[in-house]
Structure 1
Amino acid sequence: MLGSIVLVGVLSLGISPGNDQGIKESPKNQFQQAIFESGGELVEEALRACEKHFGTAIFLPPQLPSVAFTHQYGRCYDMEGGLDEHLEVHYWNRYKPEHDYKIELYPLENKQQLKHLSFEESELADHTTAKFYKGPINTFQLLVFEKGNWQYLLTAANRASSKISQQELTEIAESLTQAMNSKDPVYAMWGTLAVTETKRKYNMDVVDYLYMGRTTISNEMAEEKFKLWLKKGAREFGVYVTVAFHPTTHQFISIRYEEF
C-alpha cells in the first residue's frame, strides 16, 4: 500500500519511476524561464535599473487595461543591447494573445520619430497632445504622448477579439498626468507622515523627496509611494517609503521602507 501511495505521488509530480532527474518543469515555468533568460526582469527591478542609468525618476501610468494578464516583466535597454536606450514594460496573457500591452519610455532627446505611421492627433485632459495609430487586424495599436522628459509609447494588440481600445489607452495616459499633477491633500498628508517617520527611523535628514504615485490594492486599502534621499555626515542613501491606508476613511494601516 505504501509503495502504491509513493508511486502515485511520484507520477503526479511528472516523474517516471526510476527517473532521478528531478521534477520536470511545467510549460508555464519554462515560459517564465525563457522570458528571464532573454533579458526580462521584474518590473520594479527594470524600473530601478533605468532610473539609475538615466539618473532621474521614472513614472509609470497607475492604470492598466481592464483585461487579465498572466505575466508582467520589464527591461532597461542601454546601448550595449544594440537598441536605443529606453525602458520597456510588457504585460501579456499567454493563453489569450489579444491581451497584450506594452509601455515604452524614451528620453525626449532620443524619442522615436515613427514617421512611417499615419497618426491621428487628439488632446488629453491636461491638453497634452497625443497621437494614435491603429494598424490592420493582427498588428497593433499605439498611443504616443510626452510627459516630463519622456516620450511614452503605449502599445496594444489589434485583433478581432481585442478588448483594449483607443479610449482605454487614452484613459491610461490620463491616469499618468493626473497622478503627476495631483494636488490631492491625502497624498500631501501621507507624504508628511512618510518624511516624519523616516527621519525618526533612521535619525537622518531627508534632503530630497519625490512622490511616485498611488496604487489601489482593494476597496479597503490603497498605497502612496514616496522616494526619499537621506543624508547625515558622509553617509547618504535612498529609501522607498510606502504608506498604506483606507481610501475612504483615510485611516492609517501600515508603513514600510525599502532602501536602495
Structure 2
Amino acid sequence: MLGSLILTGILSLGITPAIDQGTMESSEFPFQQAVFESGAQLAEEAIRACEMRFGREIQLPPQQPAVAFTHRYGRCHDTHGGLDEHLEIQYRNEFKPENDYRIEVYPLENRQKLEHLSFQAFELTEQTTAKFYKGPLNTLQLLVFEKADWQYLLTTANRASTEIGRRELSEIAQSLIHAVNRKEPAYAKWGTLAVTETKRKYNMDVVDYLYMGRTKISSVLAEEKFKLWLKKEDLEFGVYVTVAYHPVTNQILSMRYEEM
C-alpha cells in the first residue's frame, strides 16, 4: 500500500527528468493542453463544482509556497457518494518539477485514514494537531490536518532541490486556520459536530441547517441548539440537535436528538 502511494506521488507530483524549456515551448502538445486533456479543469471551476456537490463553502489556505509556479488547475472528484469524493488543487512548474504542490480537501465523513504511513504528530496551533509524513527521496511529503468540517492534505515533492518542507507546509496550514477562525462564529465547531453526527446517526444527507441559539445552564454546562433538515430519496424530516458541553474546557458532554 505504501509503495503504491509513493508511486502515485511520484507520478502526480510530476517527478520526472528535467525538461529543457526550449523543447517544451516548441512541443506539439503544450503542457497546459496535456493537463486539461487528462481531465483537469480551471481551479475555480473545480472549487465551485465541489462546493455545489457538498453544499457548503470550501476555503483554501490564503498562503502559498514561496516558489514559482506556471500552472494551477483542479479536479472535483465526484464519485456519487463514495469515500473518495474530494477537491484537488494542484500547482506545478513545467520547467521545475521540484516546484510542485497539491491541496486535497475531503469532507470529514470521507476523511482519509492513511494508517499505513508513519506520521509524526505535532501541534499546529493551540487547538489543532497535524500529522507530517516525509517519504524516501524522490517521493513525497504530506501534511494532514482538519479544520471546520474538512480534512486537508497538503502534498509536495521530496527531492534534493525541493524548497518546500514541513515548515513551509505548516505555515500554509496555519494561514488557513487563522483565516477560518476570523471568519467563523463561535458556534461553528458545534454546528459541524451536529451535522456530522446526525448524518452518521440517520444515514441521510443534511440539506438545511439553522442555528437556534446558545443556553448557558451553569458555569460548567452550556448548550448549543441546531435545527437540521434531513433527506434521503423520498424521505425527509427535521431534527433538533442539542450539543451540551463544558463552556471552559469545550469538552463535549452529550448530544440530544428530537425529531420534528
Shorter-chain TM band: 0.5 to 0.7
CA contact (8 A) 1:77 1:83 kept: no
Runs of at least 4 residues off by over 6 Å: 80-83
For structure 2, the residue ranges without an aligned partner over 5 or more in a row are: 1-24, 184-260
**Matched residue type, 1:166:** R
- Structure of higher RCO (CA pairs closer than 8 Å, 6+ residues apart): 2
1:58 is matched with: 58
CA contact (8 A) 1:126 1:177 kept: no
Q: For residues 4-61 of structure 1, what are the alpha-carbon distances to aligned partners after superposition, in whole Å with 9 as ceiling and x for unaligned?
A: xxxxxxxxxxxxxxxxxxxxx9438622111111111111110000000111100000
**Matched residue type, 1:56:** R
User: In the aligned structure 1, how far is the partner of 2:145 from the partner of 2:28?
Assistant: 35
Alignment of structure 1 residues 94-109 onto 2, 5 Å: 94-109=94-109
Alignment of structure 1 residues 7-86 onto 2, 5 Å: 26-27=26-27, 30-79=30-79, 84-86=84-86
If the length of structure 2 is used for normalisation, what is the TM-score?
0.58
Q: For residues 188-213 of structure 1, what are the alpha-carbon distances to aligned partners after superposition, in whole Å with 9 as ceiling and x for unaligned?
A: xxxxxxxxxxxxxxxxxxxxxxxxxx
Shift of 1:110: 0.9
CA contact (8 A) 2:107 2:150 kept: yes
Which has the larger Rg? 1
User: In the aligned structure 2, how far is the partner of 1:114 from the partner of 1:153?
Assistant: 11
1:112 is matched with: 112
Identity of aligned residues (%): 67
If the length of structure 1 is used for normalisation, what is the TM-score?
0.58
2:121 is matched with: 121
Q: For residues 105-136 of structure 1, what are the alpha-carbon distances to aligned partners after superposition, in whole Å with 9 as ceiling and x for unaligned?
A: 11111111101100000111242010000001
1:188 is matched with: none
In structure 2, relative to structure 1, the CA distance for the partners of 1:80 and 1:26 (3 Å cut) is farther
SS in 2 for 1:182: helix
CA contact (8 A) 2:83 2:110 kept: no
The number of aligned residues is 160
**Matched residue type, 1:35:** V
Alignment of structure 1 residues 94-173 onto 2, 5 Å: 94-173=94-173
Question: Which deviates more, 121-130 or 158-167?
Answer: 121-130
Shift of 1:165: 1.3
Query: What is the RMSD computed on CA atoms of the aligned residues?
Result: 2.2
Q: For residues 70-117 of structure 1, what are the alpha-carbon distances to aligned partners after superposition, in whole Å with 9 as ceiling and x for unaligned?
A: 111000001169881000000011111111100001111111110110
In structure 2, relative to structure 1, the CA distance for the partners of 1:120 and 1:177 (3 Å cut) is same
Q: For residues 132-180 of structure 1, what are the alpha-carbon distances to aligned partners after superposition, in whole Å with 9 as ceiling and x for unaligned?
A: 0000100000000001111100000000010001001000000001111
Alignment of structure 1 residues 228-239 onto 2, 5 Å: none
SS in 1 for 2:132: strand
In structure 2, relative to structure 1, the CA distance for the partners of 1:172 and 1:138 (3 Å cut) is same
User: In the aligned structure 1, how far is the partner of 2:47 from the partner of 2:119?
Assistant: 28
For structure 1, the residue ranges without an aligned partner over 5 or more in a row are: 1-24, 184-260
